[in-house]
Amino acid sequence: MIQRIQTVWLFLAALVMACIFYFPVYKFDTATQLPMTIGNDFVGIILAGISIVLSLVTIFRFKNRKNQVGLTWLNILVTIGLQAWLFFKVTNFRNDPANSTLQGYFWIGMFLPLVTLILLFMAKSGIRKDEKLVKSLDRLRD
């Protein structure tokens, strides 16, 4: 069962979430200001790390599909929490009067949790299809 499509989606979710450490969340128009990254935010690092670990652990829980679904839901909640935290962090930075002169824009790192969410929902769908297939085969055996 490890060769199922949800394994691909979960691995891609872990890979995309790992990319958040390489891409900035917010870039500034001036070259003198360094971009905002997740690398200097403790909460962001913890949430991204939990999401990566959950995706990889979920792959190897293929024998227990109910557990896989539960871990995927937990990962979805962690990813939503990370997205909300990043948005909150950037919004607070932009609204700070000391930073009102700095102009910038959201960058790739801000949208990676959204891509991860899509991949996690696709994995959840694959797990549900497997569960339905096993239940239908069990009916035929009885």
pLDDT digits 0-9 by tens, 97-130: 877 778 888 889 999 999 999 999 999 999 898 8
In three-state secondary structure terms, 133 is helix
Provide, rounded to the nearest whole percent, the portion of the chain with pLDDT above 70: 94
> What confidence tens digit (pLDDT) does each residue in 69-88 have?
999 999 999 999 999 999 99
Q: Is the pLDDT of residue 58 over 60?
A: yes
Q: Is the pLDDT of residue 31 over 80?
A: no
Please report how the helices 108-141 and 65-95 are oriented relative to each other, as an axis angle in degrees rounded to 10: 160
User: Residue 72 and residue 10: Cα distance in Å, rounded?
Assistant: 9
User: Residue 47 and residue 81: Cα distance in Å, rounded?
Assistant: 8
Place of tokens 């900035």: 24
Domain that holds residue 51: 5-141
Domain count, the chain: 1
Place of tokens 């990370």: 82
CATH of residue 114's domain is 1.20.140
What letter does residue 34 receive in the DSSP assignment? P
Q: Is the pLDDT of residue 10 over 90?
A: yes
Range from 50-59, 61-70, 98-107 carrying the lowest mean pLDDT: 98-107
Q: Hey, what long-range contacts does 27-33 have (CB within 8 A, 24 or more apart)?
A: 27/104, 27/105, 27/107, 28/102, 28/103, 28/104, 29/102, 29/103, 29/104, 29/105, 30/102, 30/103, 33/102, 33/104
pLDDT of residue 2: 59
User: Residue 103 and residue 5: Cα distance in Å, rounded?
Assistant: 42
